[in-house]
Amino acid sequence: MRISNRFSRSMLFEDGIPTIFEENGKKGIKMGNGERIVPSIYDSIKELDMPTFQYSVELDGKFGVLEVNENGEVTTKLEIEYDLFQYLKHEEYYLVRKNDKYGIWHNHLYLPCEYDEIRLLENNDLLICKNGKYGVYDWHICVPCEYDEIKYIKYELKKKFCELEYTSCENYMLLRQGDKYGLWSKETQLLPTIYDEVVPPTDEWGIKVKKDGVWGYFDKEHNFTTDLSKVPLEWENLSDAGENIAF
């Protein structure tokens, strides 16, 4: 649950907090004492849930961000020149677009507008695309934009500790470069993109891979083997395992 910043920032304003007003179909901002600090020239103004009083504004189809301090002084946090300003449903991060390129704004331009695509994944990481190549951003670039395709995979694994059963969520990124596959997890490249097929873990045991027609197995310690006697019986028939990696 997200907790609003509005109460804590309101304590700074002795004469009442800023409010949005409308006049002749246009919107502006005034202080609690009635002083108009932003003229009513904007098509829309929306208050942002930030630690300070910040507002997204729209003027003639362009978006930007204004900030009002406790003295009623207004500063421009984001120039009114963006074609999109959209809440990402994660903390206080916003998707912005300029000249058909996307970026991320979070109190400043967190990611510059140089990406072809930015999409929020289920685990709140961002899938990013630059010059036709994909990567992953989790508030820093953890997977570089070098891949032709990336698939987010989430597994809920049932585990047991001291007779207590619990469910652990594991997140993986299945990577493709050309016709070769690899795997990332938790900012670590588990497998380079050299395999014909990769099947991420569906239990605690490990990862199944195929290279040059031969299946192999990485256990949970990332030790590799092709010896079927060392793997669970249910893994011995893997002729259809590659179907799990379809994009």
Q: Work out the pLDDT band at 7, boundaries 50, 70, 90.
A: very low
DSSP 35-104: -EEEEEEESEEEEE-SSSEEEEEEETTEEEEEEE-TT--EEEEEEEEESEEEE-SSTT-EEEEETTEEEE
| Mean pLDDT of the chain, nearest integer | 80
Q: Work out the pLDDT band at 127, boundaries 50, 70, 90.
A: very high
Q: Work out the pLDDT band at 24, boundaries 50, 70, 90.
A: very high
pLDDT tens column, 146-184: 999 999 887 766 655 566 665 666 778 899 999 999 988
- Mean pLDDT over 17-23 rounds to 92
The pLDDT of residue 196 is 92
Query: Which of 11 and 91 is assigned the larger pLDDT?
Result: 91
Report pTM. 0.76
CA–CA gap between residue 27 and residue 21 (Å, rounded): 6
